[in-house]
Every structure is written in C-alpha cells, then in structure tokens.
Structure 1
Amino acid sequence: MSSSTPVWERPEPPERPAPSPLSRARIVAAAVALADAEGLGAVSIRKVAAELDAGPMRLYRYVDTKEELLELMVDAVYAEIPAPAGRTWREAVRSAAQGMREAALAHEWFADLLGGRPRLGPASMAHGDALLAAIRAAPGVPDIDTAMRIAETLSLFLNGAVRKEVAERRAERATGQNVSQWQAASGPYLERMLATGRYETLAEAVQEARHLDAAETFETGLAYLLDGFEANLPAA
C-alpha cells in the first residue's frame, strides 16, 4: 500500500550494510538509464532492482510504486534543464523552450510523460517557477492570471512539438527511413492523389511550400507564438 506522504517529503531509510548500497538517487539514475536504452515500457521495479543487483523488495523501501518512480525520473530530467536565461523575457522563454526540447531528445521517454497534472517535484517546480517569472516580467503582462494563460499555451505548444519530433525519430528507427526517404517512397502515391484535383491547397503546400527540418519548425512555431503573446498584451 502506498504512503499518504509524498515521496518528496519522505526521508530515505537509513543505510545498512549490503552488497549493493541503495539511495533514491541511484535508483532513479538506473531507471533513467534503462528508459533511455530500452524505452519507458522497460522500466519496472523488478528490472531496476536487477540493474542495481538488489532485490525488488529493497527498492520498495525507497519508492512505494512505479508511479512514484516515474515522478522521480521526470524530476531528474527537469533538474538537467538550465534555468531560463536571457536579457529579455522572450529570450528567457525561448531558452526554457529549447531546454525542454533538448531534454526530450536526450530522454525520448520524457516526452511521453509531459502534460497531465502539474509535476510537484522540486526541480519541476523550480523550472515552472522560473518560466512563469520570466513571463510575468514581460512588459504589458498585467497580472498573474495573464501570465498563467501564456504559460499554459506555451506548454501546449511544447508538449505537442516535442512529442511530434520524438514520434518522427521513433518512426525513422522503426522503418529504417528518414523523412526524405519516406517522402521519396510515398511520392508516387501522393502525386497520383494530388493529380485528382481534390486536394488543391494541399497540392500547393507539397509542391511550393518550403519544408523545414525539425529544429527550424520548432523555432518558427515558437516565434509565431511569442509574437502572438506580445501582440495581444497591453502596451508596456
């Protein structure tokens, strides 16, 4: 049965002599390494215990459930993200967004755990606080409610953008085709479909639009979003 006290507030059990000393930090590091190598589906208390040469029951002295372990793993990744930095609020928000993207590309499973309820780990909260502070400092942001709406909208963009990029990387590994190779393989069918005349705007996009890589797409979308925020704020 899980404890009613959040893992963040529970002290670790006292150390005891054992062939493989344990701590929450070691458990989380092993779980992160396992998820990086084999995906989130490979993470279980049993498998993490095996990586640490320990019995599963020993791990339950440190974490009550797999869900707690996932929370700790997410917080460990947030701890890797640099604090938002920049001379202006836009630069600070952009640096925070780039940090999230880089974290998700380094730990693809992290993208699967974005969204949902807010994360309450200390690193997660510190990241959220710093990002919200950067937005709150923007000229024209009149109150914390407006800052929250901006932060929520930014979060929706980041979650969707990094999940899409991670999904493309996974598809490339699964099929052995990168985007260009997939486009070349799909080209004859797509040309036949577009030749029917039923998809005029899509045909224009395929044939005439500039196709950006993942990094350019991310930066362009983020710039549009920041421009929109700025345009809808009262004058400083």
Structure 2
Amino acid sequence: MPEAIWFRDDARPRKPRLSRERIVEASVALLDAEGVSGFSMRALAARLQAGTMSLYEYVKSKEDVLDLALDEVLGEIEPDEGPSWRATVVRRLTQSRHVMRRHPWVPALTATRPLLGPNALARSRLFYSTLADAGLSGPALVAAVGALTSYVNGYVAAENTWWATIRTPAADTEIRERVGRFLEENATELSRQAQVDNGDFDRQFLLGLDIILDGIETRLGADA
C-alpha cells in the first residue's frame, strides 16, 4: 500500500491557477458522480480544466487525493455531544450514515486506508472518549468502537448498493412483495420472521444500533 499522505511533511508549492482546496472540492464532486472506480487523475484534471501533470504540483499521487477527499467529507459529521453517551453515539452514527448516503464511495475508502486526517482524528477522539467516559477501556473499548463502526459502514454499504440497483421506492416495494409471496409459499416460518415487507431503512438502522448499544450497556453494568 502506498504511504498515506498523513505520514509525510508534504507542503507542496502552490500556483495561482489551482490550489489543493480546489482539487479536493473537485475530487469530491467527481467521486460523487463516478465513484472510486471512475476516479482518475485525468478525469479530475478535465473537471478542473487543467493539465493532468499540473495536479502533481499540489499532491504526490491519486492516493493522496483520495485521502484528502475522504477527510473533507468526514468533516461533514458534526462532532456534537448529546445529553448521554448513548445519545452522542446515536447522533454520531446517524450523521455518519447520512454522509455515506450523500457520498456512497466513503465506506469503501474508510475500509482501505488509515483515517488520520484532521477531521477524522477529531471525530475519532470524540467517539473513543465518549465510550471511555461511559466506562469502557482496553480491549472492550476497541471492540465496541469496532462493532459500532462496522455496523454503520456495513449497513450503509448494503443500503447504497440496494438503491443503486433498485433505484426507486416503487421498485423496492415490488421486489419485497415478490419475495414475500415466495417465502409464504416456500418458507412460511421464515416469512413470518424475516418481515421482508419492511422497507423502512431509517427505523431498521436505529433499531439495529439500539440492539448493539444495549449490549454495550449490559457490559458496562457487568463491569460496574
């Protein structure tokens, strides 16, 4: 894996026509439009109406641009605190989900690179300190952060893939009805349990999150 930009002292010369800020802004827009698979330095240069080689006056590589774009959108997660540790976690992960819905390429990048940019670090500090102040420490703290992060990333990755494929609420309803009829005819018990007619992604996300938080709260009570 190429060395992440955050490990380098990478103050690069600036020219008046471009800036790292403009490059990052255009990178986010390109990623939103084309995803990671459609991202290239050539496509980015075209969006900026600049030569491809001119970008390297500001960044060392494509990976640098992806790191910077990712940290930029992570800054959309407001690092605010709720009235309790649970409320703070729910706010943080709900906002994270909204950011990853607006920028569907985010889950893939968060899974493949260190999140060490200023925005990522600020939000990680709050997340860890919230759970630490609740009473978690050591491996239990790390495991709780990992479980919650994996939940939101996995949920949104599946949600994004679903809507990229199904595309409309009407199509979502139709496939759920077809699956429901099939299960009623071929797996009656599973049909009752799975409730495939429930297409409320918001409610399901919060319910799943509550179940994980209940487990964490039980752990806190056991360690008291």
Give the TM-score taking structure 1 as reference length: 0.84
2:110 counterpart SS class: coil
* Alignment partners' CA distance in 2, 1:25 and 1:32: 11
* Alignment partners' CA distance in 2, 1:46 and 1:117: 22
Contact 1:84 1:93 survives alignment (8 Å): no
Structure 1 residue 121 displacement after superposition: 1.2
* Alignment partners' CA distance in 1, 2:3 and 2:112: 22
| Alignment match, 2:162 | 168
Contact 2:177 2:197 survives alignment (8 Å): no
Structure 1 residue 213 displacement after superposition: 0.5
Structure 1 residue 212 displacement after superposition: 4.8
Structure 1 residue 185 displacement after superposition: 4.6
C-alpha RMSD of matched pairs (Å): 2.5
Structure 1 residue 176 displacement after superposition: 8.7
| Alignment match, 1:150 | 144
Structure 1 residue 203 displacement after superposition: 2.5
Letter in 2 for 1:179: D
- Which residue among 216, 224, 227 is the counterpart of 2:203? 216
* Alignment partners' CA distance in 2, 1:170 and 1:10: 37
- The 1:231/1:123 distance shift into structure 2, 3 A limit, reads same
* Alignment partners' CA distance in 2, 1:151 and 1:48: 34
- Which residue among 205, 213, 219 is the counterpart of 1:226? 213
- The 1:8/1:102 distance shift into structure 2, 3 A limit, reads farther
- The 1:4/1:152 distance shift into structure 2, 3 A limit, reads closer
Which structure has the bigger radius of gyration? 1
Structure 1 residue 51 displacement after superposition: 1.0
- The 1:8/1:108 distance shift into structure 2, 3 A limit, reads farther
Identify unmatched segments of 5+ residues in structure 2: none
Letter in 2 for 1:106: R
Structure 1 residue 205 displacement after superposition: 2.3
Which stretch has the larger CA shift, 154-163 or 32-41? 32-41
- Which residue among 183, 189, 201 is the counterpart of 1:201? 189
**Residues 138-169 of structure 1, C-alpha deviations (whole Å, 9 max, x = no match):** 1x32x243222211111111111111111111
| Alignment match, 2:47 | 51
Contact 1:3 1:64 survives alignment (8 Å): no
1:178 aligns to 2:171 (yes or no): yes
- The 1:104/1:47 distance shift into structure 2, 3 A limit, reads same
Identify unmatched segments of 5+ residues in structure 1: none
Structure with more of its chain in helix, by fraction: 2
Letter in 2 for 1:218: F
* Alignment partners' CA distance in 2, 1:51 and 1:7: 28
* Alignment partners' CA distance in 1, 2:169 and 2:216: 40
Contact 2:12 2:59 survives alignment (8 Å): no
1:115 aligns to 2:111 (yes or no): yes
- Which residue among 57, 62, 65 is the counterpart of 1:66? 62
Structure 1 residue 65 displacement after superposition: 1.8
Give the TM-score taking structure 2 as reference length: 0.88
- The 1:53/1:221 distance shift into structure 2, 3 A limit, reads same
Contact 1:75 1:123 survives alignment (8 Å): yes
Which stretch has the larger CA shift, 61-70 or 223-232? 61-70
Structure 1 residue 231 displacement after superposition: 0.4
Identity of aligned residues (%): 32
- The 1:180/1:201 distance shift into structure 2, 3 A limit, reads same
Structure 1 residue 187 displacement after superposition: 5.2
